[in-house]
């Protein structure tokens, strides 16, 4: 089991996701920003190694406007060696890596332009992992997309795009996560049947919408969609409901009792856990300590 947190480290005084506005785009600005982002990423990874946080999600903002037409610069060549070096570090320390393309990536949109932009974004994020020379256990994590009032048809559209339009390099890394309002675990399992895509399990989203599966059973069902020799073990997002806030909103800090209970409930199941908790590594310390106590690390 590996435990980690997404994108941002709040201890270090740098960001690996510095961007800038479209209006101020220039190649020089791009090079400068990506150089700083990658330097920061290296610092974050070293921090993570030092503290036993062996799972990390790279920010989508590593290369600003990477899938936008304004950016015609060959950043892939320019940063090839830097990315490979980062990849070597990741492999040397056996870190698990994911990326989570944002809400604008909708593969089942009825709008062909949205699908086109979505694919371009997936190609960009996949190419980061490719240039790092990471294997297919490094994943791209997206949601099913919109429901459009007819989920089976919408998922059929997802599958069609998957089979006919996605490059193999993206297909090898693509995963789908159950979301908190449209596509439940069961909906994702249907999509898995159509495509073979592994399902990333999100416990809080599962609490928001489900078909009555108990937590342990749900984890097992998601885990069964992963081919260990290609995909590695199950990745999951762990969070808890922020008290008194909108349903699905992430807590500020990890509720240790709840996380303890979750680990007990899933005893014997292996998985890598991404903590979607607002205070980031502050909660990761606690989660790692709990997992050690229970003999899970």
Partner DNA sequence: CGCGGTCAAGTGGCT
Partner DNA sequence: AGCCACTTGACCGCG
Site for DNA, rule CB under 7 A: 6-8, 15, 17-24, 57, 59-61, 64-68, 100-104, 106, 109-111, 114, 117, 121, 143, 145-148, 180-182, 246-250, 276, 278
**Least distance in angstroms from the C-beta of 178 to DNA:** 11
By beta-carbon proximity to DNA, the closer residue of 24 and 164 is 24
CA 142 to chain centroid: 7
Long-range contacts of 75-83 (CB under 8 A, 24+ apart): 75/30, 75/31, 75/34, 76/127, 76/131, 78/31, 78/34, 79/34, 79/38, 79/131, 80/131, 82/35, 82/38, 83/38, 83/128, 83/131, 83/132
By beta-carbon proximity to DNA, the closer residue of 3 and 296 is 3
Distance CA 53, CA 47 (A): 8
**Least distance in angstroms from the C-beta of 268 to DNA:** 28
By beta-carbon proximity to DNA, the closer residue of 258 and 297 is 258
By beta-carbon proximity to DNA, the closer residue of 109 and 266 is 109
**Least distance in angstroms from the C-beta of 203 to DNA:** 12
**Least distance in angstroms from the C-beta of 9 to DNA:** 10
User: Structure tokens of 41?
Assistant: 């990423």
CA 215 to chain centroid: 21
In three-state secondary structure terms, 38 is helix
In three-state secondary structure terms, 44 is helix
By beta-carbon proximity to DNA, the closer residue of 145 and 198 is 145
By beta-carbon proximity to DNA, the closer residue of 200 and 263 is 200
**Least distance in angstroms from the C-beta of 277 to DNA:** 7
User: Structure tokens of 201?
Assistant: 């399990």
CA angle 97, 188, 118 (to 5 degrees): 60
**Least distance in angstroms from the C-beta of 246 to DNA:** 6
């Amino acid at each position: 089991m590996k435990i980690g947190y997404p994108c941002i480290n709040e201890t270090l005084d740098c960001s690996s996701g510095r961007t800038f506005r479209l209006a101020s785009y220039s190649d020089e600005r791009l090079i400068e920003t990506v150089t700083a982002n990658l330097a920061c990423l290296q610092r974050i990874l070293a921090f993570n190694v030092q503290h036993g946080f062996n799972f990390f999600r790279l920010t989508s903002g590593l290369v600003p406007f990477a899938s936008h037409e304004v950016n015609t610069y060959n950043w892939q060549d320019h940063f090839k060696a830097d990315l490979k070096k980062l990849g070597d570090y990741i492999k040397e320390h056996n870190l698990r890596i994911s990326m989570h393309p944002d809400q604008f990536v909708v593969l089942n949109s009825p709008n062909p332009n949205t699908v086109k932009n979505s694919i371009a974004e997936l190609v960009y994020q996949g190419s980061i992992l490719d240039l790092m020379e990471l294997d297919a256990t490094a994943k791209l994590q997206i949601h099913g997309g919109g429901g459009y009032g007819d989920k089976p048809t919408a998922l059929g559209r997802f599958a069609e795009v998957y089979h006919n339009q996605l490059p193999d390099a993206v297909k090898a890394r693509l995963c789908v996560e159950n979301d908190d309002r449209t596509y439940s675990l069961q909906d994702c399992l249907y999509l898995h049947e159509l495509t073979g895509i592994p399902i990333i399990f999100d416990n809080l989203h599962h609490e928001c919408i489900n078909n009555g599966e108990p937590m342990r059973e749900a984890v097992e069902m998601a885990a069964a969609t992963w081919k260990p020799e290609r995909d590695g073990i199950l990745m999951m997002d762990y969070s808890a409901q922020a008290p008194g806030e909108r349903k699905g909103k992430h807590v500020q800090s990890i509720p240790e009792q709840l996380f303890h209970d979750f680990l007990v409930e899933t005893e014997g199941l292996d998985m890598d856990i991404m903590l979607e908790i607002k205070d980031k590594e502050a909660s990761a310390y606690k989660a790692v300590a709990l997992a050690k106590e229970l003999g899970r690390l």
